[in-house]
C-alpha cells in the first residue's frame, strides 16, 4: 500500500509573515470592507498554531498568535491615531506609539489563545471546534479584562441587520464568534492526511452551519411584524462640527446656533424627542443652564412646550471633600410653559482608558501625561447603569459611545431596574475617529446591541454616522446621516420586540459551546490514549 504523502506545510521562515497576513485578512472581513472570504484566515491561523517549531513549540505558537493579532488589530483600530491628531501640536507625536501600543497589547490575547490551543494539543478534525472554543474564550476575556475592549469581535464580521447577524438574538456575539471561527477554520482540514470522507464531512458540516445561520436569519427577518399605530417622533441632529474646531472658545456661539437651527428646522412633523450627540456643546451643561447664562434663552427657544431634548453633555458635580467631579452624561431637558427642566440624567459608567481617564492618574500626571478630555480633570464613572424614564419619553437605556461595544449591557441594566426599556439611545462622539473606518465599524457594532436585545437604537453622532436602527439591526429607510453630512433625521421610534433569548439567558448558550469544545478535546485525548 502506498503511504499517504504528508500534508503540505509552508517553510518555517514563512510562518511569521503568514501570521500577519492571516490577521489582516480576518480584519478585512469586517465592515466597512466586508471581504467575507477573509474569514478563511481562521483556518490558516489554526494551521499556524499546529505547526511544529522545535525546541520551543509553545513559545513559537504564542509568537505566531501575537503576530496574527498584530495584523488584525492594527487594521481594526488604526483610527485611534486620529484622536491624537485633533490637537496635533500637543498629542500628535503620540499617534504612532498609541497605535503600536494598542494593537500589540490587544494582540497579546491572540498570542495567549494560540499558546493555550497548542498546550491542549488537539488532533484530528475535531481540533476545528477546539480552536474555535479557545479563540472565542480569549475574545470573551478581551471584552472583560480590566475595562474590556470588545471592538470587532470575529462574530461581528457579518453586517448587522443581515441574515447571519440575526443569530446574535439567540447566542449573542460571543456565541456567533465561536461559530464564525469554526466555519472559517473548517476548510483548512482539507490539507489534513485524514481520510477523504472525514475531511468532506467537516467541510459539509461547516457549510450546513453557515446555511442554517443564513436560513434562520432570513426567516426571522421575513417574520418581522409591520409597524402599526402611532409612535413618538424622534429628531436626531448631526451638525457636522469638526473635532479640531469644537473646543476653540470663539466657536461656542456658532456651535450652539448650528444645533438650534437644525432643531427648529421644519421637518416631517413636530418631533417629540430631539437628540444631540455626545459632548455636543463644548461647555459644561451646568454653566449653559445657569439662570445668568447667555445661552439659556437660546436653548429654551430651540424647543417647543412638551418637547424633550436628550443632550450628550459634560456635567459637573461635587465629589468627596467638595472636590469637583466631571461626568460624561446624557441629560434630558424638557420644555414647558415656564422654561426648561432637567427631567433625567444618566452618567456614563464605562469610561475609555487614556481617553476619558488616565489609569494611575496621579503618576501619569507627574510625568506629564493626561487623558484626552478637554476638562480640568478626568471624568468620573457614573453608578451602575439603569434605564431612565424622563417625562414624556418612553423608557430608554442610554449607551454613551464606548458602552455600545458591550454585549449584555442593556439587559443587565434592565435586571437591576426590574423593567425592560422601550429603546436604546446611543450618543457618541465619533468625530474623534475622523474620516476613517472607525465610525462605520462603530455603527455596525452598536447595531448588534439592537439584535441581541430586540430593542431599537437611535444613534446620534456629531459628524456621522447617525441612524435610527430597528430591533433587527437594520437602519430604517432614509434614517441615516453619513460621515460629513450636516442635517437631521426625523423618524418614528421603531417598535421593540419581545425579549430575545440572549437578553433572557445572557452567555448561557456561549458557555454550552465552550463545553462542546472542551468535550471534544477530552474525547480526542482519551481516544489517543486508548489507541
User: Domains of the chain: which residue ranges?
Assistant: 14-223, 233-494
Grid coordinates of 524 = 480526542
Quote the CA–CA distance of 128 and 123 in Å, as a whole number. 9
In three-state secondary structure terms, 172 is: helix
DSSP 8-state assignment for residue 335: E
| Catalytic site includes residue 278 | yes
Distance separating alpha carbons of residues 500 and 497, to the nearest angstrom: 8
Q: How far apart are CA 247 and CA 260, in angstroms?
A: 18
Backbone angles phi, psi at 324, to 5 degrees: -65, 140
- Residue the block writes with cell 513549540: 57
Say which DSSP state 191 is in.
G
Which phi and psi angles does 398 have, rounded to 5°? -75, 140
Phi then psi for residue 510, to 5 deg, are -60, -40
- The answer to whether 150 and 404 have CB atoms below 8 angstroms apart is no
Tell me how far apart the alpha carbons of residues 476 and 479 are, in angstroms, rounded to a whole number.
5
CB atoms within 10 A of CB 343: 17
Catalytic entry in 82, 156, 348, 452: 348
Tell me what pLDDT residue 363 has: 45
| Helix (H) or strand (E) run with residue 165 in it | none
Kindly list the strands in the beta sheet with 308-318, ordered across the sheet, starting from the edge strand earlier in the chain.
Answer: 340-347, 324-335, 308-318, 273-276, 233-238, 487-492
Give exposure, 360-399, as e/b (b: 16+ Cβ within 10 Å): eeeebeeeeebbbbebebbbbbbeebbbbbbebbbbbbbb
Nearest-CA neighbor of 422 among 433, 434, 410?
410
In the prediction, which pLDDT does 52 show?
A: 78
Return d(Cα 100, Cα 93) in angstroms, integer.
13
Q: The C-alpha cell of 61 is what?
A: 505558537
Does 348 sit behind a cis peptide bond, omega within 30 degrees of 0 on the bond before it?
Answer: no
Residues in the chain predicted with pLDDT less than 50, given as ranges, are 1, 363-364, 366-369, 531
Q: Which three cell numbers stand for residue 353?
A: 482608558
Query: For position 364, what pLDDT does the model report?
Result: 47
Was domain 233-494 assigned CATH 3.60.110.10?
A: yes
How far apart are the C-alpha atoms of 531 and 519, rounded to whole Å? 18
The helix (H) or strand (E) run that includes residue 35 is none
Q: Which of 278, 356, 422, 453 is catalytic?
A: 278
User: Which among 139, 401, 422, 452 is annotated as catalytic?
Assistant: 401
Shortest CA distance to 125 belongs to which of 206, 14, 221?
Answer: 206
C-alpha cell at 197: 470522507
Longest Cα pair distance anywhere in the chain, in angstroms?
95
139 an active-site residue? no
Q: Is-catalytic flag, 250?
A: no
Rounded Cα–Cα distance for residues 240 and 261 (Å): 13
Residue 13 near residue 51 (C-beta atoms within 8 A): no
Q: 373-376 long-range CB contacts below 8 Å, 24 or more apart? A: 373/326, 374/247, 374/282, 375/314, 375/326, 376/324, 376/326
Query: Do residues 345 and 329 touch, judged by C-beta distance below 8 A?
Result: yes
Q: How far apart are alpha carbons 132 and 153 in whole angstroms?
A: 13
34/442 Cα distance (integer angstroms)? 14
Reported as half-sphere exposure (CB side, CA atoms, 13 A), residue 471 has a value of 22
Q: How far apart are CA 122 and CA 302, in angstroms?
A: 64
Predicted confidence at residue 492, as pLDDT, reads: 95
What letter does residue 290 receive in the DSSP assignment?
S
- 453 membership: H or E segment, kind and range: helix 438-453
Amino acid at each position: 500500500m502506498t503511504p499517504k504523502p504528508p500534508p503540505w506545510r509552508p517553510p518555517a521562515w514563512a510562518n511569521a509573515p503568514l501570521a500577519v497576513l492571516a490577521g489582516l485578512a480576518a480584519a478585512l472581513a469586517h465592515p466597512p470592507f466586508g471581504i467575507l472570504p477573509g474569514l478563511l484566515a481562521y483556518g490558516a491561523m489554526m494551521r499556524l498554531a499546529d505547526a511544529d517549531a522545535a525546541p520551543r513549540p509553545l513559545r513559537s505558537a504564542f509568537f505566531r498568535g501575537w503576530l496574527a493579532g498584530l495584523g488584525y488589530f492594527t487594521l481594526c483600530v488604526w483610527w485611534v491615531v486620529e484622536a491624537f491628531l485633533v490637537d496635533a501640536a500637543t498629542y500628535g507625536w503620540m499617534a504612532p506609539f498609541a497605535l503600536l501600543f494598542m494593537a500589540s497589547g490587544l494582540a497579546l490575547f491572540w498570542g495567549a489563545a494560540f499558546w493555550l490551543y497548542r498546550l491542549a494539543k488537539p488532533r484530528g478534525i475535531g481540533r476545528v471546534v477546539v480552536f474555535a472554543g479557545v479563540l472565542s474564550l480569549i475574545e470573551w476575556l478581551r471584552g472583560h479584562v480590566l475595562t474590556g475592549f470588545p471592538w470587532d469581535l470575529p462574530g461581528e464580521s457579518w453586517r448587522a441587520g443581515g441574515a447571519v447577524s440575526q443569530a446574535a438574538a439567540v447566542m449573542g456575539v460571543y456565541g456567533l464568534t465561536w461559530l464564525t471561527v469554526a466555519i472559517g477554520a473548517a476548510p483548512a482540514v482539507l490539507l489534513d492526511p485524514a481520510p477523504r470522507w472525514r475531511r468532506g464531512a467537516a467541510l459539509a458540516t461547516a457549510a450546513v452551519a453557515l446555511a442554517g445561520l443564513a436560513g434562520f436569519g432570513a426567516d426571522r427577518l421575513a417574520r418581522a411584524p409591520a409597524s402599526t399605530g402611532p409612535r413618538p417622533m424622534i429628531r436626531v441632529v448631526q451638525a457636522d462640527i469638526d473635532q479640531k474646531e469644537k473646543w476653540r472658545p470663539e466657536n461656542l456661539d456658532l456651535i450652539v446656533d448650528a444645533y438650534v437651527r437644525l432643531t427648529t428646522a421644519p421637518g416631517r412633523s413636530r418631533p417629540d424627542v430631539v437628540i444631540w450627540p455626545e459632548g455636543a456643546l463644548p461647555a459644561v451643561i451646568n454653566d449653559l443652564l445657569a439662570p445668568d447664562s447667555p445661552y439659556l434663552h437660546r436653548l429654551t427657544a430651540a424647543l417647543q412646550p412638551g418637547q424633550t431634548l436628550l443632550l450628550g453633555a459634560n456635567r459637573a458635580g461635587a465629589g468627596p471633600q467638595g472636590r469637583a467631579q466631571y461626568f460624561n452624561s446624557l441629560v434630558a431637558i424638557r420644555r414647558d410653559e415656564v422654561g426648561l427642566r432637567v427631567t433625567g440624567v444618566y452618567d456614563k459608567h464605562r469610561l475609555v482608558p487614556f481617553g476619558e481617564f488616565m489609569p494611575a492618574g496621579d503618576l501619569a500626571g507627574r510625568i506629564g501625561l493626561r487623558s484626552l478630555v478637554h476638562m480640568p480633570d478626568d471624568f468620573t464613572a457614573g453608578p451602575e447603569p439603569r434605564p431612565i424614564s424622563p417625562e414624556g419619553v418612553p423608557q430608554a437605556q442610554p449607551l454613551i459611545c464606548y458602552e455600545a461595544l458591550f454585549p449584555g449591557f442593556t439587559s443587565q441594566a434592565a435586571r437591576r431596574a426590574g423593567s425592560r426599556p422601550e429603546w436604546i439611545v446611543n450618543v457618541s462622539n465619533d468625530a474623534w475617529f475622523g474620516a476613517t473606518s472607525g465610525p462605520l465599524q462603530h455603527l455596525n457594532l452598536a447595531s448588534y446591541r439592537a439584535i441581541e436585545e430586540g430593542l431599537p437604537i437611535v444613534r446620534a453622532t456629531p459628524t456621522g454616522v447617525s441612524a435610527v436602527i430597528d430591533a433587527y439591526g437594520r437602519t430604517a429607510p432614509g434614517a441615516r446621516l453619513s460621515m460629513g453630512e450636516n442635517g437631521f433625521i426625523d423618524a418614528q421610534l421603531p417598535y421593540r420586540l419581545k425579549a430575545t433569548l440572549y437578553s433572557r439567558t445572557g452567555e448561557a448558550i456561549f458557555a454550552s459551546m465552550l463545553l462542546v469544545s472542551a468535550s471534544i478535546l477530552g474525547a480526542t485525548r482519551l481516544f489517543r490514549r486508548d489507541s
